[in-house]
Amino acid sequence: MSTGAVIVHEDAEVLAEAVASRLINRLADAQAQRGEASIVLTGGRIAAKVYRYVLESPIRSVVDWSKVDFWWGDERFLPSGDPERNETQARAAFLDRILLDPERVHPMAAADEVGTPEEAAARYAAELEAAAGGAGVPAFDVLLLGIGEDGHVASLFPGNPALEAAGAAVGVHDSPKPPPERVSLTLEAINTAAAVWIIASGEGKAAAVDEALSKGELPAGRVKAAGHTRWLVDKDAAANLKHLEF
């Protein structure tokens, strides 16, 4: 089922496998054009599933993973290797098991490397700017976002000042979801991507998906990629989308 911008999948497994295939094809197409590709990873449960499907995909080798730049949309401000870090999750699920170029892996700084989320954000913004040749943020081929039950994306939570931050990256405090300190790309940076795919699975996400899509509210509803924004969801997450005709 699809409206173009919203594609509904039978369940979480089908969703994760389909997103993995899309990703591989998207990165392969970018490499066919430019010889390299870039992806912004997200954290969360459905993302971890997607990464495992990428690893297991029979078409995985159509991408030269050593010519992919890996960035993160947000990070929990915790020490390196902490299992709650989005970096740790992505490494365990697939990055540690594919042949990549370590120079092209760009995690956000951890709490044992810098003193504050602001320092981590400033360091990340500088790294993005260097990669973009001084132009703010590089052109991301695809940027993945999970969505929280409250409609947050990356670490941009409803009502939190980080949601209105300018620049490329921001330190986040008082996150209602633990841990309270985080680092995030700004909405402005997210919206520069050529493609943003918001992935939602489970009935817990249904209300937020509906509110974001029907009213353009919540952080998720304010995501408008420079290229296209696509909502890749399962039936449970789409349960409240009665106004959409599939």
Ligand X SMILES: O=C1O[C@H](COP(=O)(O)O)[C@@H](O)[C@H](O)[C@H]1O
**Where do contacts with ligand X occur on this chain (CB under 6 A)?**
42-46, 74, 76, 86, 146, 148, 154-155, 177
Q: Which residue is nearest to ligand X (CB)?
A: 146
* Unique residue bearing structure tokens 């300190």: 181
Helices (H) and strands (E) in the chain, counts: 7, 10
Residue 171 in tokens: 């330190």
Nearest residue (CB) to ligand X, 138 versus 148: 148
Measured from the CB atom, is 138 or 146 closer to ligand X? 146
Shortest distance in whole angstroms from residue 199 CB to ligand X:
8
Q: Among residues 43 and 107, whose Cβ is nearest to ligand X?
A: 43
CB of 84 to ligand X, least distance (A): 9
**What is the side-by-side order of every strand in the sheet holding 68-72?**
6-9, 228-234, 195-200, 142-145, 37-41, 68-72, 105-106
Q: Specify the residue, 52 or 67, whose C-beta has the smaller distance to ligand X.
A: 52
Query: At closest approach, how far in Å is the CB of 62 from ligand X?
Result: 26
| Phi, psi of 109, deg, nearest 5 | -60, 145
- Taking the least distance from each CB to ligand X, the nearer of 154 and 169 is 154
Minimum Å gap between C-beta 113 and ligand X is 18
Distance of alpha carbon 190 from the chain centroid? 9
Query: What is the number of alpha carbons within 13 Å of residue 87 lying toward its C-beta?
Result: 21
Closest separation in Å from C-beta 146 to ligand X: 2
- 57 by Cβ neighbours in 10 Å (0-12 / 13-18 / 19+) ranks as middle
